[in-house]
Chains A and B, each alone.
Chain A
Amino acid sequence: MILAVLTVVIATLALTYGQVSVPAGQVWSIIFHHIVPSRAAVSANDTIIWLVRAPRVALGFIVGSALALVGVAIQALVRNPIADPYILGIESGASAAVVIVFYIALVSGTSALPPPIAAFVGSLGTLILVFALARRRGRVASARLLLAGVAVSFALAGITEFFSTLNPNINATQAQQQWTLGSLASAQWSQIPIAFGALVLVYVSLRYYCRALNALAMGDATAAAVGLDPDRFRIRLLVITSLAVAVIVSLAGPIGFVGLVVPHVGRMLFGAEHTRLLPAVALLGGLYLMAVDLLGRVIFAPDEINVGVLTAILGAPFFLWLLRRQRLDG
């Protein structure tokens, strides 16, 4: 409840502030005007609010929410609260695949795969690779998982750079922004339906698998004991999370640490049980990314800081703090 109110407040702030400040009342009348078309009163700020800021705020909420949910799923999957789609290289995998597809399209003149599908292949492939590297005798050791993730992530970032450089059509700075640092700056209404679709998919399927997530988080033997086939369930989770990450990355680029910070805060506030955790994390994630993007637009206004830069600055110390607390040999 409090979270829902906070969401509205932050959304309003996010719509209000920017290069041109628009009063909150006017912001909502503009939004209202677009939702209920019969209203008159078109103001000069209409374009800024409705076409620039509103889709950006909406995309921020959706992306934050989906990333946080993916974080929860991956943490249950590898049974380790320190995992995150960015740290494990999954987002980099999606980025790299998209850039490679762009390059192939440039060279051959025909596009082999649409970017979101390429991103899906990239994220799923990376997730499976990192997981396989980290798993030994059926156990995933934290240290091995993190090292594998970071190493694969570096390699993929290199590949992304490489193909961006080769491709003269991708403007260097734009490529930098879009595919190595996540950004919400290019948000458009046309992107919202697919992003929202991905969010609904990941939320509904994880909500369906709540009890299974609880069981898997307790260990494979526990999962088997209560009638869950852990391997089969893991494969389903892999596909769901890769799909969501693929959509997010193809729209906003890789945005790190949201899937780490938000689920952790969610667990501190609401406990580890997934029935309660999931809705809370979905809202918190949206809130968090909206707020961080707002921060990025406000601190050095009129210059903007990419949301991916800020989440990394905020998330990395958090990650290190978690790392200090955990036994790595486990």
Chain B
Amino acid sequence: MMAGTVSDPAGRPAAPGSRTARGSPGNSADGPPKVLAESLRLGFGEVEVVHGVDLEIPPGSIVGLVGPNGSGKTTVLRSCYRALRPIGGVVWLGRRDVWKLTARQSAQSIAVVAQDALAEFDFTAAEVAALGRLPHKRGFEREDEHDRELVLTSLDTLGLIHLAHRPFNQMSGGERQRALIARALVQESRVLVLDEPTNHLDIRYQLDVLHHVRSLGMTVIAALHDLNLAAAWCDRVYVIADGAIVAGGMPEQALHPKVIDEVFGVTAHQVPHPVTGRPFLIFERRGYSDAGPPE
């Protein structure tokens, strides 16, 4: 196990240099906050499935969480947006403990694109995006000019303005995913949690979605299935297996062939991408190549 290669734990939440303002957390004008998970332990009932995970997501960066199915990626994310209360450990949003905020406060700072959004009801794209206003509005409060404009500009940013009145259920997977990201923008939060944002999307839309995410300048934590997407788009990658972090750091370190072999059981070769120069992985079945590790 290569635990311990987790990158430097600089910038504890109490550090005086934290850029998060007081008041409404993360809503300040001075940029997105840092997110930090400290020895997170998570589980369902009696069964612990995540055993002491540490993550650091620097302000405005994109951090990828990769790992085999069932490794605990989604579980870790759920604890970051208050859908699953940790058994132990803390999730810091700037200098605040996410689990000491109210659901409403946390939603003002953290937006989520989760996996289960499929409605039996015919909401339009604009109505889905408008849900992002919920944490900012009181019960009888009406939508004002600002709310409506925010919905339109967000849909526009994601290239969906022409589909504003299309039923969400009739949109393609990529369009839906973008509508949900538009909702996150409407939420005016500074942190974005993405759970497999490119799942079931055609390659074109995968790149499209990640391009949009990149351009937002938010602090992003994303569970990704495709290692090469993680290598290409993330500033930092954590590899999780069986509920523990196995490697973390720059994509070239974290997605080192030794890690890939250990976690995914395949032989990988890391080469520079011919255009971007970022690490790119080529896989083969374990033991197939001469260069493969001994069985």
Contact = CB atoms under 8 A, between A and B. Distances in A.
Interface of A: 75, 79-81, 207-212, 214-215, 217-222, 224-229, 267, 271-273, 326, 330
Contact of B104 (A217, A222, A227): A227
Contact of B103 (A218, A229, A326): A229
B139 A209 contact: yes
A210 B183 CA distance: 17
28 contacts: A79-B120, A207-B139, A207-B140, A208-B140, A211-B134, A211-B137, A211-B139, A215-B131, A219-B116, A219-B118, A222-B116, A222-B117, A222-B131, A225-B83, A225-B107, A226-B132, A226-B135, A226-B183, A227-B102, A227-B104, A227-B107, A228-B103, A228-B134, A229-B103, A272-B119, A272-B121, A273-B124, A326-B120
Contacts of A228: 103-104, 107, 134
Contacts of A222: 114, 116-117, 131
B112 A227 contact: no
A208 B139 contact: yes
B82 interface: yes
B137 A218 contact: no
B131 A227 contact: no
Given A211-B137, A215-B131, A271-B124, A227 B106 contact: yes
Contact of A227 (B113, B116, B134, B140): B134
B121 A267 contact: yes
A271 B127 contact: yes
Interface in B171-203: 183, 187
Interface string B87-125: 000000000000000111111100111111111111110
B225 interface: no
A146 to B, nearest CB: 13
A225 B113 CA distance: 8
B139 A218 contact: no
B117 A218 contact: yes
Given A79-B120, A218-B119, 8 more contacts: A217-B123, A219-B114, A224-B81, A225-B113, A227-B102, A227-B135, A228-B103, A228-B134
Of B103, B121, B131, B183, the most chain A CB neighbours within 10 A belong to B121
Contacts of B133: 211
B119 A217 contact: yes
Interface of B: 81-83, 102-108, 111-124, 127-128, 131-135, 137, 139-140, 183, 187
Nearest to B193: A225
A222 B115 CA distance: 9
A150 B133 CA distance: 38
A75 B120 CA distance: 10
B115 to A, nearest CB: 7
Contact of A221 (B83, B111, B121): B83
Nearest to B126: A273
B112 to A, nearest CB: 4
B103 A224 contact: yes
Contacts of A326: 120
Contacts of A218: 117, 119, 121, 123, 128, 131
Most buried by A among B82, B120, B135, B187: B120
Contacts of B83: 220-221, 224-225
Nearest to A276: B127
Contacts of A272: 119, 121-123, 127
A214 B187 contact: no
B127 A214 contact: yes
Most buried by B among A81, A207, A271: A271
Nearest to B107: A227
B116 A220 contact: yes
Contacts of B134: 211-212, 214-215, 226-228
A79 B119 CA distance: 8
Given A211-B134, A214-B127, A221 B116 contact: yes
Contact of A214 (B102, B104, B113, B123): B123
